[in-house]
Amino acid sequence: MKFTILSSLMALAAGALADDSWMTATPGTSLANGVTDMGSTTMGFVIQSYDAKRKSKRDDTLVLSQHCGVDGNLAVTLTDGILYDASGRVGSIVSNYQFQFDGPPPQSGYIYAAGWSIDEDGYLALGDSTEFFECLSGDFYNLYYDSVGDQCSPVEILMVELVDC
């Protein structure tokens, strides 16, 4: 009896770990020339005010500017349209539209966990949009995929290559 219960629990746990449906949770749209895989390039975020009129450069070659990597700063990689932080957690949009890293798998109730890309100017996109929102929460900001109140401002996330300095 104990063996049956234990083996049933192990099978249930293995099934839960094998569920990779989050890897296809995308917005359903994508950038025409978006780069979805940056290999082993480690990148960081630079938050900038959103410019809806920003014009793309004509050259389709993606070259990220380089910044010194600093301990404690967020470092990410992009593989097959999925963002991972240095701890292997998945970048996702969760049920309250907040952009955060969890898992894998992402936090229960996630909305999107895949479909990330970088546009020709180096900006992070989810689906076909580079617009995110920074929202004041006390004395710091959280990033969101949609505005969640008057304390939010539209931003873009410029991706930079992190290098040792």
Extents of the domains making up the chain = 2-163
The whole-angstrom separation of Cα 5 and Cα 140 is 47
pLDDT greater than 80 at residue 129: yes
Q: What is the mean pLDDT of residues 141-151?
A: 94
Instruction: Give the pLDDT score at 165.
Output: 87
Closest CA to 25 of 123, 111, 116: 111
Query: pLDDT tens digit string along 10-34?
Result: 444 444 445 789 988 999 898 888 9
The percent of residues above 90 in pLDDT, for the chain, comes to 59
Whole-structure pTM value: 0.80
Burial (CB < 10 A; 0-12, 13-18, 19+), residue 8, is exposed
| Mean pLDDT, range 53-73, rounded to an integer | 68
Residue 84 has pLDDT above 70, yes or no: yes
